[in-house]
Chain A
Amino acid sequence: MSAGHEIMLEAKMKNGNRWYLKFLAAIVLATAIFGIGHGVSQAAATDPVVVIKDAVDEIIAILQDEKLSAPARKAERKNRVVTIVEKKFDFREMSMRTLAKHWQERTPEEQDRFVSLFKKLLENTYIVKIETYSGEKVVFKKAAVQGNKAIVYSDLIRKKVETPVNYKLKNSDNHWMVYDVEVEGVSLVNNYRTQFASILSKDNFAGLLAKLEEKVSKGAVE
C-alpha cells in the first residue's frame, strides 16, 4: 500500500524530531485534552453518520436475533423495527416534500390523513422488505454537513454489487431526522412527488387519498 508507506515515511521523519514533539506535546496536552473532551462528545452526539449507523446496526441486530425470527414473534419484530425507523425518519417532512405545492392547499386534517397513509405505505413496502434481509452489508463512507442539512453516503453490498444509498437528514432541535433516501441516485421523495403530481393532474385530492388507501389496505392483507 503506497499510501501507507507514505504515511510511514512521514511518520519516521517526524520520529527524528522527537525532542520537538515532546516539547509540543507538553504544551498541547494541557490545552487539547480539555478541548477534545468537549469537541468529541458533542460531535458524537450530533454526527449524522452515527445517527444512521446506529439505526442500521440496531435493525440488523433485530433481524439477526434468532429468538425474534420465530413466526409467533413476527409482529413484535416488525414493531421493533418500525419503532427505530420512526425515531429517525421524519414522515411529515417527507409527506410535505412529496406533495410540494399541493401541501399548502390542504386542511390540517387532510394533511394528517395523508401523512399517516404515506407512512403506512412506506412501512408496508419497505419495512416489510427489510425482513428479507440475507446478510447484506452496509458500509458507511462519509457525511457532508452544511448548516442544518446533512447527507450520509453509504453502500449496500449485495452479491458483490454496491448500491449507493444516500440518506438526507435535517437537524431540528438537535435531532437529525431523515427526510429523503436516494438509492442509486433516485430520490424516493422525488419519485413519489412525480407520481402524486401526475395523479393530481387528473384527479382531485380525495382521489389521491383513495388510491393511497387502496394501496395500503392491499399491502396490509399480504
Chain B
Amino acid sequence: MKNRDSFSPQVCRVCFCCLAIWLGSMTMALGQDVAVDDEPAFGEEQDIGQISDPLEPINRAFFHFNDKLYFWVFKPASQGYSYFIAEDVRMCVRSFLKNLLAPVRIVNNLLQGKVADSGVETARFVINSTLGIAGLADPAKNEFGLSPKDEDLGQTLGVYGLGEGIYICWPFFGPSNMRDTIGLAGDFFLSPVSYLAMSDPGAGVAVQAGREVNNTSLTLGDYEDFKEAAIDPYVALRDAYRQYRQKKIRDVAVGNDSVYISSFGPIEKTYAQETTGPVSSELEHEPVLVDDYFVQVGTSFDAEKVLLMRQTLLAMNMESVVMVSEREGHNFYALEVPAGEKFALAKQEAQRLCAAGFSEARVGQ
C-alpha cells in the first residue's frame, strides 16, 4: 500500500513532464506548419473576420459606464494620488503587483508548451522577489536580460483553438470576450490577490482598486488620446481589444517567441541609438577605457553584406580582429580593440557603420 501511495504522485509527475515535452514539440511543429501558409501577404493584416456582438446594446451601456467611471472616479483619484506619490514609487508599485502575478504567467507558459519561457518567468520571479526586493524593481530584465513572457489562460485557450466567442464589455473590467472571461476566472485561482479577496473581500477590492489607480496614474491621457482619435470609440475599443488579443495568441501559434522581444543580451551601453539628436550616425558619449573593447553592431543587413564589410575591415586594419556572428536572427559585427590607440579607430568604424545604416552600435566588454 505504501509503495502505491508514493508511486502515484511519481506517475503524475512523469506524465506531466511527458505532457509538457509533448506539448512543446507539438507547438514547435505546429509553428513550422503555420508559419508557411498562415502568414498572409507580407505586412498585410490577417482578416480577423467579423466580431460577434449580440450583446451590443448592453455592452455599449457598460462601455459608457466604464467611460464615466474613468473620467469621474479613476482619473481624479489617480491625479490626486500622483500628486502625492512620486513617479518612481508608483512604478515600483506597478512592478510589485506585476510580480505577484508571476504564477499566472509561469503556469500558462507551461500549458502552452513553452517550457523555456516558463523557466524564464520562474527565474524572473525568483530574482525579482529577492534581489528586486519583493518585486519592487526588475533586476531580472535590467541586469539579467530576462524579458517577461506575458501569457494568461485566455491566450492558452486561444492557442488550443478555442474561439473568442461573443464580445463582452464588463463593467469595471472593460473589454473582454467569452474565452478571455473563462481565462480570467481560471487565472483567478493563480493570483495571490484572489486568496486575499477570499479571506477578506474588502481588502481584495481595495487592492484591485489601488492597482487600477496606480496603473492609471502612469498612463494618464492614453485613454483620452485613444478616444479622441476614434470616430466610434466603442467600436474602436472593441476592435483594438480583438487585434491585441489575437496578436498575443498568434505569436505563439506561429511558433515564434514574441517578435517584439529584443534578442540582444543585456546592453552595456548603447551609442548612436537612443534618438536624442538629429544625426542618426553620431555616437554620443565617450566610453570609459577598459582593457579590451568590442564594438558590436546589430544590423538589418543580410549576412553577406556584413561578411563583405568584415573582409574590408580586415584588409584595412590588420591589428584588430573582426568577427561576424549570427545569433538569434541578428547579425552582429564585433570589433576587438585593445585599449589605447586603437580606440579612436573603433569609434570611427562604428560611426561609419552607423552612417551606412546599421541599426545598432554598442560597446561591450
Partner of B275, one of A24, A35, A60, A186: A60
Chain A CB within 8 A of B140 CB: no
Instruction: Please give, as numbers and ranges, the residues of chain A lying within 8 Å of B231 by CB-CB distance.
Output: 192, 195-196, 199, 211-212, 215
Residues 289-347 (chain B) with a chain A CB within 8 angstroms:
292, 294, 296, 298, 300-301, 305, 308-309, 311-312, 314-316, 318, 321-323, 325, 327, 330, 332, 334, 336
Chain A CB within 8 A of B1 CB: no
Q: Interface residues of B: mostly helix, strand, loop or mixed?
A: mixed
**B303, chain A: closest CB distance, angstroms:** 13
Cβ B244 vs Cβ A150 within 8 A = no
**CA of A50 to CA of B107 in the docked complex: distance in angstroms?**
40
Cβ B275 vs Cβ A3 within 8 A = no
**CA of A47 to CA of B314 in the docked complex: distance in angstroms?**
25
Partner of B277, one of A40, A61, A121, A215: A61
Partner of A26, one of B274, B315, B355: B315
Residues 26-70 (chain A) with a chain B CB within 8 angstroms:
26, 28-29, 32-33, 35-36, 39-40, 43-44, 47, 49-50, 53-54, 56-58, 60-61, 64
With A1-B268, A142-B300, A142-B330 in contact, do A151 and B43 touch (Cβ < 8 Å)? yes
Chain A CB within 8 A of B42 CB: yes
Closest residue of chain B to A46 (Cβ to Cβ) is B357
Partner of B336, one of A8, A49, A180, A212: A8
Cβ A57 vs Cβ B314 within 8 A = no
With A4-B294, A25-B318, A150-B43 in contact, do A139 and B300 touch (Cβ < 8 Å)? no
User: What per-residue 1/0 map shows which CB atoms of B251-279 lie under 8 Å from chain A?
Assistant: 00000000110100110101001111111
Chain A CB within 8 A of B45 CB: yes
- Tally A-B pairs: CB < 8 A: 200
- Could you show 16 A-B contacts with beta carbons less than 8 Å apart? A2-B265, A4-B265, A7-B296, A7-B336, A18-B318, A32-B308, A40-B305, A54-B280, A144-B42, A146-B42, A159-B91, A162-B260, A185-B244, A194-B236, A195-B230, A211-B231
Residues of B whose CB lies within 8 Å of any CB of A are 41-43, 45, 48, 87, 91, 138, 218, 221, 225, 228-232, 235-236, 238-240, 243-244, 246-248, 259-260, 262, 265-266, 268, 270, 273-280, 292, 294, 296, 298, 300-301, 305, 308-309, 311-312, 314-316, 318, 321-323, 325, 327, 330, 332, 334, 336, 355-357, 359-360, 364-365
Residues of A whose CB lies within 8 Å of any CB of B are 1-4, 6-8, 10-12, 14-15, 18, 21-22, 24-26, 28-29, 32-33, 35-36, 39-40, 43-44, 47, 49-50, 53-54, 56-58, 60-61, 64, 121-122, 125-126, 129, 132, 137-147, 149-151, 153, 155, 159-162, 164, 168-170, 180, 184-187, 189-192, 194-196, 198-199, 211-212, 215, 219
